[in-house]
Amino acid sequence: MIELSNIIKSFNGNLVLKDINLHIQKNKIYAILGPSGSGKSTLLRCINLLEIADSGNMRLCDVNIDFKSKIKKYDILKIRKHTGMVFQNYNLFANKTALQNITQSLISVHKYKKQQAYEIGMYYLSLVGLKDKANFYPNALSGGQQQRIGIARALAFNPDIILLDEPTSALDPELVDEVLNTIKLIKDKTMILVTHELHFAQKIADMIIFMSDGEIIEVSTPNNFFNSPKTIRAQQFLSKFNNYTDYII
Ligand SMILES: Nc1ncnc2c1ncn2[C@@H]1O[C@H](COP(=O)(O)OP(=O)(O)OP(=O)(O)O)[C@@H](O)[C@H]1O
Ligand SMILES: [Mg+2]
């Protein structure tokens, strides 16, 4: 589904992704874990071209990107049609209702008719349990509700791939579960989730990708990663979580 080869990305001479190679399989759930600053968000953003890597190649569905060449607008659009993104801070439009937040790109980018977009929007609002909030503006919704709208928006155009960057880290602890439960509703998608929720990652992911200092250090099953991490860096990362043993199956 996605093949990343030799991806390099730096910001002002600071090397943030150091030769990333990664194969993402269709309809599997991947959780990216790792310390702060290790390049998790940058990697996710390079995948949907919110950031442009300095070099390397990406194949995503039917799109081939050579980061050394100028990226065509047409390819950016194609990548965006394949990928729905959920952001840490929801990124909802404050001046649009919950429903309009979902329908806007359906109409402007994906060229749905208004009525069709409305029906799709209402369907996804129901899916995330917020049909009754369709006409509410974001500031009248809790953080958890806003993020559930963010998830509905990412799902609404039926992308093959969902990218989630710490979707619960801006939330008060009591609101985290409602968003995690909403993520569990996502079916038949390829999903890449950056998270600090280790327990959730262990339960939901097919594969764990552990990053440290701009590199992918381990790619392994949750069972292997949490029970017998191969590298010292992964062991150190896991030992920082006091209740690490809670995560062992
Ligand atoms: N737009 C940017 N301009 C300059 N430096 C950046 C930019 N985005 C990220 N960086 C730097 O790249 C490095 C990796 O950042 P990134 O946000 O990818 O880390 P992360 O693993 O997502 O961290 P966190 O867990 O804190 O979200 C950091 O050192 C960060 O300061
Ligand atoms: Mg991040």
Q: How far is the CA of 48 from the centre of ligand 1 (A)?
A: 16
pLDDT, greater one: 241 or 141: 141
The pLDDT score that the predictor gives to residue 242 is 53
Question: Closest ligand to 39 CA?
Answer: 1
pTM, whole model, 2 decimals?
0.94
161 neighbors 146 (Cβ within 8 angstroms): no
The pLDDT score that the predictor gives to residue 248 is 47
> The domain that contains 202 carries what CATH number?
3.40.50.300
Pocket test for ligand 1, best of 12, 40, 217 (most atoms within 8 A of CB): 40
Q: How far is the CA of 45 from the centre of ligand 2 (A)?
A: 10
Residue carrying the six token digits 């442009």: 52
Q: How far is the CA of 72 from the centre of ligand 2 (A)?
A: 26
Q: Whose CA is nearest to atom 18 of ligand 1?
A: 39
Round to whole Å and give the CA distance between 75 and 79.
6
Round to whole Å and give the CA distance between 214 and 102.
34
User: What's the number of domains the chain is made of?
Assistant: 1
The pLDDT score that the predictor gives to residue 241 is 72
Q: Hey, what are 231's tokens?
A: 């590298």
Pocket test for ligand 1, best of 9, 12, 16, 215 (most atoms within 8 A of CB): 16
124: left (phi over 0), alpha (psi -120 to 50) or beta: alpha
Q: How far is the CA of 41 from the centre of ligand 1 (A)?
A: 7
Round to whole Å and give the CA distance between 103 and 70.
31
Q: How far is the CA of 41 from the centre of ligand 2 (A)?
A: 4
Provide the residues around ligand 2 (an ion) whose CB is within 5 A: 41
Q: Whose CA is nearest to atom 10 of ligand 1?
A: 11
Q: Whose CA is nearest to atom 30 of ligand 1?
A: 37
pLDDT at 246 over 60: no
Round to whole Å and give the CA distance between 156 and 140.
22
pLDDT at 247 over 70: no
Q: Whose CA is nearest to atom 9 of ligand 1?
A: 42
Residues paired with 210 in a beta bridge? 33, 218
Round to whole Å and give the CA distance between 179 and 108.
27
Closest CA relative to residue 191, chosen from 176, 175, 180: 180
- Atom number of ligand 1 nearest to Cα 34: 21
Residues spanned by the domain of 47? 2-247
Round to whole Å and give the CA distance between 165 and 44.
7
Query: What confidence category does residue 220 fall into, taking pLDDT thresholds of 50, 70 and 90?
Result: very high
pLDDT at 42 over 60: yes
Instruction: Give the up-direction half-sphere exposure of residue 167: CA atoms within 13 A in the CB hemisphere.
Output: 32
- Enumerate residues lining ligand 1, CB below 6 A: 11, 16, 34, 36-42
- DSSP output for 133-192: GTT--GGGS-HHHHHHHHHHHHHHT--SEEEEESTTTTS-HHHHHHHHHHHHT--SSEEE
Question: What are residue 219's phi and psi, to 5 degrees?
Answer: -125, 110
Q: How far is the CA of 214 from the centre of ligand 1 (A)?
A: 10
pLDDT at 78 over 80: yes
DSSP 246: G
